[in-house]
A = this chain, B = another copy of it.
Amino acid sequence: MQNFTYKNPTEILFGKGMIREIAGRVPKDTGVLFLYGGGSIKKNGVYEQVTAALAGSRVTEFCGIEANPLFETCLKAVETVKKEKIGFILAVGGGSVLDAAKFIAVAACFTGSDPWAILKERGANVKAALPIGTVLTLPATGSESNGNSVISRKTTQEKLHFYSPHVYPRFSVLDPETTFSLPAKQLRNGIVDAFIHVMEQYATFPAHAPLQDRMAESLLQTLIEVAPAVLKKHNDYESRATFMWSATLALNTLIGCGVPQDWSTHMIAHELTAFYGLDHAETLAIVLPGVWQYKLTAKKKKLEQYGQRVWHVKTAKEAMMKTEAFFHSLKMPTRLGDYQISAKEAARKVRERLSERDSVFGEHGDITPDAASKIVASRG
């Protein structure tokens, strides 16, 4: 087992009716930014529940955070924060709104001249942030209980992430009922996103960490088991509750303690989203099988273990086939061709972009721009 430090101070408020619990947790002595996305929360009752819980607070609303939240939009929110003397951000929505809240919280306290530097330096230059609370309505990213955020820049077609211990939410409400109104596509995306978050921390090489392995496999098995009910039963509380808690534990950084981590699938997939606008989970499902194929020898032992324990098959190849079949069972495509995107062109763009940044990825640090390009080329 590798040495590690682990600290996750976010308070989870889980279950039906828990939105009301934010009442005692949002400060009354400063302005509150109520941040949300396209307005779906006005159709499913969440907006009303949040507004009721915020009674007595000075609230400024900011809506319009998009999927793959934009740097440009966040900067407008930072202006509002400064103008309205905001001291607390309440993010209500999915990972995009939560990630935006984290960037806004940091940018509002940032003393440098260009806030894009927060992303270019991956958060290393972050010294402070406004406190954040969240109400999660889309299980997927784990952003409700970690210090990660991913932000896109429209003008340059870039998508970068940062991490800071300052942006863990103070609290996150996870009420499974808020997911009842989600469209099938977002549920599918959330399942695949959580599944691949686990894989980034698991499908590497054996590292004397049997507990972490089993906990990762527990998440994979549970996501596979619960997926059909999540997609088919629209008001089934129990399956949504299990999905929601699984997605949080998939990326609250616990299962990654003491083990090697990959993240090359995410890094390459971010580029595909930046260039082509595909959903985050869609690009992950395209890239993961390519990374596994490319790194088959190095990942063989863990993929065999995964296949044997989770799918009851023998070989790494069979485990890979089962995984793609699982994605297809959720109606999630796994090829660029499924979106009429040229793999050759995408491979060229990814190579150029990653070469500019001199990026290398993966648990062995050997996914060079050239390797990433080959992986993308293989996903036509």
Q: How far is the CB of A319 from chain B (nearest CB, A)?
A: 19
Interface string of A191-227 (1 = CB under 8 A from B): 0000000000000000011110011011101100110
Interface string of A8-19 (1 = CB under 8 A from B): 111111111110
Q: Is the CB of B7 within 8 A of A209?
A: no
Q: Is the CB of B238 within 8 A of A1?
A: yes
B residues near A5, Cβ cutoff 8 Å: 11-14, 21
Report if A155 contacts B (CB, 8 A).
no
B residues near A7, Cβ cutoff 8 Å: 9-12
Q: Is the CB of A14 within 8 A of B10?
A: no
Interface positions, chain A 1-42, Cβ under 8 Å from B, are 1-18, 21
B residues near A246, Cβ cutoff 8 Å: 211
B residues near A1, Cβ cutoff 8 Å: 14-15, 238, 241-242, 245
Q: Which residue of B lies closest to A211 (CB)?
A: B222
Q: How far is the CB of A240 from chain B (nearest CB, A)?
A: 10
Interface positions, chain A 26-72, Cβ under 8 Å from B, are none
B residues near A226, Cβ cutoff 8 Å: 210
Q: Which residue of B lies closest to A165 (CB)?
A: B11
Q: Which of B18, B209, B211, B217 contacts A3 (CB 8 A)?
A: B18
Report if A115 contacts B (CB, 8 A).
no
Report if A380 contacts B (CB, 8 A).
no
Q: Is the CB of B218 within 8 A of A245?
A: no
B residues near A249, Cβ cutoff 8 Å: 211
In the complex, A242 Cα to B208 Cα: how many Å?
8
B residues near A258, Cβ cutoff 8 Å: 14-15, 241, 245
Number of residues from A at the complex interface, CB < 8 A? 41
Q: Is the CB of B12 within 8 A of A9?
A: no
In the complex, A125 Cα to B55 Cα: how many Å?
29
Q: Which residue of B lies closest to A252 (CB)?
A: B254
Q: Which residue of B lies closest to A10 (CB)?
A: B7
Q: Which of B14, B219, B238 contacts A4 (CB 8 A)?
A: B14
* A219 touching B211 in the complex, CB below 8 Å, given contacts A9-B7, A12-B6: yes
B residues near A371, Cβ cutoff 8 Å: none
Q: Is the CB of B222 within 8 A of A214?
A: yes
Q: Which residue of B lies closest to A239 (CB)?
A: B208
Q: Which residue of B lies closest to A208 (CB)?
A: B238
Report if A257 contacts B (CB, 8 A).
yes
B residues near A238, Cβ cutoff 8 Å: 1, 208
The residues of A with any CB-CB pair to B shorter than 8 Å are: 1-18, 21, 208-211, 214-215, 217-219, 221-222, 225-226, 238, 241-242, 245-246, 249, 254, 257-258
Q: A1-B242, A1-B245, A211-B249 are in contact. List 12 more A-B contacts (CB 8 A).
A: A3-B18, A5-B11, A5-B12, A5-B14, A14-B258, A208-B242, A210-B225, A210-B226, A214-B217, A214-B218, A245-B257, A254-B254
23 A-B pairs within 8 Å (CB atoms) are namely A1-B15, A1-B238, A1-B241, A1-B245, A3-B15, A3-B18, A4-B14, A5-B11, A5-B12, A6-B11, A7-B9, A7-B11, A14-B258, A208-B238, A208-B241, A209-B242, A210-B225, A210-B226, A211-B219, A211-B222, A211-B242, A211-B245, A214-B221
